[in-house]
Structure 1
């Protein structure tokens, strides 16, 4: 079943789904794009000179709960196994490669104040991402950081239907108020289709259908790209604007999370 699933010419109907093997597709760019177990497995196989495919297994404790890192370290010692973390793999890959490339920079006056604007090319999907910096970055101090997923309705026309607690203009104002910080704006592939889909969902909601809107935030699919850009700008310690989220493998990018700035925080 596994050999069939990892064949370069495999099709969805080649294996029975659901079955005893669950196929998962890795994100392009591996752990440098998404710091997940799927990407880690494929990256390890590729680094070993093999096809980028792997079998991943969830290890359980005796009571049936999922084994966490302390449990896995004991398991590895008991069975004389080597153990590595996703952060280790990210760190190793970053010694040899990155999936973002800095293109240019300039001073950018805005209605909120002056920013230093940087452009980056994503070598995985050829998207152009932006970073806006206020003040000088001191790697010894915690820098305020916001990674924002570009949204035409929210950012361009100020739509409030399902707006973030931290819309783009509010973040820009906040950074100017604090006179320091980094705002990373990530552009998404297939953004035209996503915009059309979002408006179609609004229409269905107006027809009183119970339709959940897709979230647009710094999730695991984009975590690695944002982290690479923040690190490239010289940030070492950061306070992230947004809801507390588990950020796997952050230390692999040379970054330390010191806290979060949430809605209503005044410091």
Structure 2
């Protein structure tokens, strides 16, 4: 079992505070669930940890942004729910890894109400970025510094990151957590989410494998 992060000293705890932890049995296997609170705000993030990741290198890791519509309701407008499922399956198959469920990231940080408003604009022809901007909202207001703080608190020394988002790689590297490898999540593109995925690739520089 991973060490109790509340007993770990150092820089890692400056931006996040551990509030709770417990064993969490799931259909993927048994994890330890940690709830971290951002020190200068109200956001709560969840770390699901399988196996002993402390002082380990190349830990299989996913930074997953909260998405109610995709993760819970099974929406095909995005690929979030399928990425979450596959990431947990990969961790379970390896028997070791970390999934950070980053709350407050709904709709790339604009919240659920504005996300649905953006969907309505997308139905009128805007892409996912244009819709946010038309609402007077940022393209993407998510931050990953707290995710780096959680990984440092868990004493993860380097990661294999399951992500297509270059900003996640850059933020972890900035905080001294090397990304040894990008692990692709083979999610099929659907008619309902193809424009969304292509827009992220074109406007945010997201990685995309045509064979996935």
TM-score bracket relative to the smaller structure: 0.5 to 0.7
Partner of 1:204: 121
Q: CA deviation at 1:223?
A: 1.9
Match of 2:46 in 1: 130
Question: C-alpha deviations, 1:26-56, integer Å up to 9, x for none?
Answer: xxxxxxxxxxxxxxxxxxxxxxxxxxxxxxx
Q: How does 1:137-152 map to 2 (within 5 A)?
A: 137-152=53-68
1:232 has 2:153 as partner: yes
Judge conservation of contact 2:12–2:152 (CA < 8 Å) in 1: no
Task: From the superposition, tell whether residues 251 and 164 of structure 1 become closer, same or farther in structure 2 (CA, over 3 Å).
Answer: closer
Q: How far did 1:160 drift?
A: 1.4
Aligned counterparts of 1:140 and 1:226: Cα–Cα separation in 2: 17
What CA deviation, in whole Å up to 9, does each residue of 1:194-228 have, x standing for no partner? 2112222223333x3224256xxxx8842211000
Work out whether residues 165 and 263 of structure 1, in 8 Å CA contact, stay in contact via their aligned partners in 2.
no
The residue number in structure 1 matching 2:31 is 115
* Structure 2 counterpart SS, 1:170: helix
Structure 2: unaligned runs, 5 residues or longer: 1-9, 133-139, 187-208
- Structure holding more helix per residue: 2
When the two structures are superposed, what TM-score results if normalisation uses the length of structure 2?
A: 0.67
Distance 1:230 1:194 in 2: 25
State the 1:119 CA deviation: 0.6
Contact 1:146 1:182 in 2 (8 A): yes
Q: Provide the C-alpha distance between the structure 2 equivalents of 1:129 and 1:180, rounded to a whole number of angstroms.
A: 20
Out of 148, 169, 182, the residue aligned to residue 260 of structure 1 is 182
How is 1:68-107 mapped onto 2 (pairs within 5 angstroms)? 95=11, 98-107=14-23
| TM-score normalised by structure 1 residue count | 0.55
RMSD between aligned residues: 2.9
3-state secondary structure, aligned to 1:236: coil
Write the distance in 2 (CA, Å) between the matches of 1:189 and 1:261. Answer: 22
Q: How far apart, in 1, do the equivalents of 2:12 and 2:74 lie?
A: 41
Cα deviation for residue 244 of structure 1 reads 5.8
Q: 2: CA distance between counterparts of 1:158 and 1:212?
A: 18
Give yes or no for the alignment of 1:173 onto 2:95. no
Deviation (angstroms), 1:145:
0.8
In structure 1, the gaps of 5 or more residues are 1-93
Give the distance between the partners of 1:179 and 1:251, measured in 2 at CA. Answer: 25
Counterparts of 1:263 and 1:162, CA distance in 2: 14
Change (3 A) 1:154 1:259: same
The 3 A distance-change label for structure 1 pair 154 and 249 is closer
Whose Rg is larger?
Answer: 1
Residues 140/114 of structure 1: CA separation in 2 closer, same or farther (3 Å cut): closer
Q: Judging changes above 3 Å, is the alpha-carbon distance between structure 1 residues 100 and 160 closer, same or farther for their aligned structure 2 residues?
A: same
Aligned length: 167
